[in-house]
């Protein structure tokens, strides 16, 4: 997605060797019209797959997932990182390790929102080491739903999470693929 690559170059900031900050339009401040176009593009890549539900994880994935869900006309479920006292009943759960936060996070989805009759598209803002995506794939597997694939806004290919998951048969569509960020220079794949 050309507009996304341009925006990453203009507004993104490389921190250290492997962190890309895009907090001005994607994960702290959101540009709603741009997020809408991103969601539409992700939806277009999976049109015709019979998707019945989108799955993401709070918090940064929610806006993009909602935009994709609007475009596909399907509900969006976001995995929760903390269990609220209002959360009851059967849950699917997974552990994901966050390299940016340097800690493991327990994510849950109420079982009533995903089942064997569903065809699921996973949506997330970033794909790096693949920890979050692995956790979401695990939750889809627990639910018995069919997994149509994963739609990612920015994939940092050099962190190889996508490689492992594609080798395992997962279809992943990333709107911007970053090959390297050596010396602060972003190279797209």
Q: Tell me which residues touch a copy of itself (CB under 8 A).
A: 15, 19, 21, 23-24, 28-33, 35-36, 58-59, 62-63, 65-67, 69-70, 73-78, 80-82, 84-88, 100-102, 109-110, 113
79 or 170: CB nearest a copy of itself: 79
84 or 167: CB nearest a copy of itself: 84
| Residue 111 DSSP label | G
Q: How many other C-beta atoms are found inside a 10 Å radius of the C-beta of residue 47? A: 10
Q: What is the largest CA-CA distance in the chain?
A: 49
- Smallest distance, a copy of itself to C-beta of residue 85, A: 5
127 or 170: CB nearest a copy of itself: 127
- Smallest distance, a copy of itself to C-beta of residue 157, A: 19
Nearest in space to 152 (alpha carbons), one of 174, 120, 122: 174
Cis peptide before 133 (omega within 30 of 0): no
The distance of Cα 129 from the centroid of its chain, to the nearest Å, equals: 12
58 or 163: CB nearest a copy of itself: 58
């Amino acid at each position: 997605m050309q507009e996304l690559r341009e925006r990453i170059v203009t507004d993104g900031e490389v921190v250290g060797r492997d962190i890309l900050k895009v907090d001005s339009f994607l994960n702290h401040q959101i540009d709603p019209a741009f997020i809408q176009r991103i969601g539409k593009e992700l939806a277009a890549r999976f049109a015709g797959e019979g998707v019945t539900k989108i799955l993401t994880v709070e918090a940064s994935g929610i806006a993009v997932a909602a935009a994709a869900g609007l475009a596909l006309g399907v509900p969006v479920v976001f995995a929760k990182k903390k269990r609220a006292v209002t959360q009851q009943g059967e849950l699917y759960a997974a552990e994901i390790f966050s390299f940016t936060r340097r800690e493991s996070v327990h994510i849950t989805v109420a079982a009533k929102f995903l089942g064997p009759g569903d065809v699921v598209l996973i949506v997330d803002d970033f794909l790096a080491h693949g920890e979050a995506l692995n956790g979401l794939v695990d939750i889809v597997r627990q639910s018995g739903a069919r997994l149509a694939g994963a739609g990612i806004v920015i994939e940092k290919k050099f962190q190889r999470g996508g490689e492992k998951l594609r080798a395992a048969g997962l279809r992943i569509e990333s709107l911007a693929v970053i090959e390297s960020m050596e010396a602060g220079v972003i190279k797209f794949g």
